[in-house]
């Protein structure tokens, strides 16, 4: 039987994990909060170090969105602790988010973070989970390419904006080439509503209307 990984719209699987900050129950301990679980191939590697520093430097921005960060790799907790100490000593950056020690690979396997074509380490996976415990976005990157943490932050902001306003988010938001900071109004589902749209919103056509929020 093939392993079933959580997909967009699925409940994030329940798991108890050991982290650099003690035991953590997901998604239970994050109830009422958004959270980002992100895997890295290994401790003491250059690209992963740049990512950890970038995540940490944006941690206040994530928390302003009621969103927590959780790292993960197939390393022992002792390795995580020493690596975090090294980052503090060499980079003068203190990693404040917990890092899951998945030394048996159980969590990584359950989340589809191990891709045989890329070796036995975890790829750079990202799961964005909402405050009700549902997976909203999944990103996968190969080991060679470091993530753009600003895009992950933008993704959280975008999904929260979509939820709060019942709108869709355009490419590159909030700096879209066509509508700038605007958001997209859901398309009309009947003729009468379609006719009214151009008088209610800024529209390129009845099916492509947008507004500022």
The 8-class DSSP code of residue 2 comes to P
Nearest to 209 by CA among 180, 179, 185: 185
Alpha helices in the chain (DSSP H): 46-57, 59-64, 77-91, 106-110, 149-165, 191-200
**Exactly one of 48, 67, 203, 209 is catalytic; which is it?**
48
Q: Locate 109 and state its tokens.
A: 């396997």
Between CA 98 and CA 68 the distance in angstroms is 9
Strands of the sheet with 67-73, listed across from one edge: 22-26, 15-19, 99-101, 67-73, 34-39, 124-129, 135-141
* Contact partners, residue 2, CB within 8 Å, separation at least 6: none
* DSSP letters spanning 147-173: --HHHHHHHHHHHHHHHHHT-B--TTT
67 is catalytic: no
How many CB atoms neighbour CB 94 within 10 A?
10
Give me the active site residues, please.
48
């Amino acid at each position: 039987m093939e392993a079933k990984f959580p997909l967009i719209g699925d409940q994030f699987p329940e798991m108890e994990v050991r982290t650099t900050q003690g035991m953590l129950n997901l998604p239970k301990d994050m109830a009422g909060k958004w959270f980002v679980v992100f895997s890295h191939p290994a401790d003491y590697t250059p690209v992963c170090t740049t990512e950890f520093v970038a995540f940490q430097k944006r941690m206040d921005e994530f928390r302003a969105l009621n969103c927590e960060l959780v790292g993960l790799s197939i390393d022992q907790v002792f390795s995580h602790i020493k690596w975090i100490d090294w980052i503090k000593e060499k980079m003068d950056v203190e990693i404040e988010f917990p890092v899951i020690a998945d030394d048996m690979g159980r969590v990584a396997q359950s989340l589809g973070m191990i891709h045989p074509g890329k070796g036995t380490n975890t790829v750079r996976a990202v799961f964005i989970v909402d405050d009700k415990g549902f997976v909203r976005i999944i990103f996968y990157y190969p080991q060679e390419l470091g993530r753009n943490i600003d895009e992950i932050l933008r993704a959280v902001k975008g999904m929260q904006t979509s939820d709060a306003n019942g709108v869709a988010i355009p490419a590159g938001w909030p700096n879209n080439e066509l509508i700038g900071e605007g958001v997209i109004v859901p398309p009309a589902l009947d003729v009468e509503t379609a006719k009214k749209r151009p008088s209610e919103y800024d529209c390129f056509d009845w099916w492509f209307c947008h507004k500022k929020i």
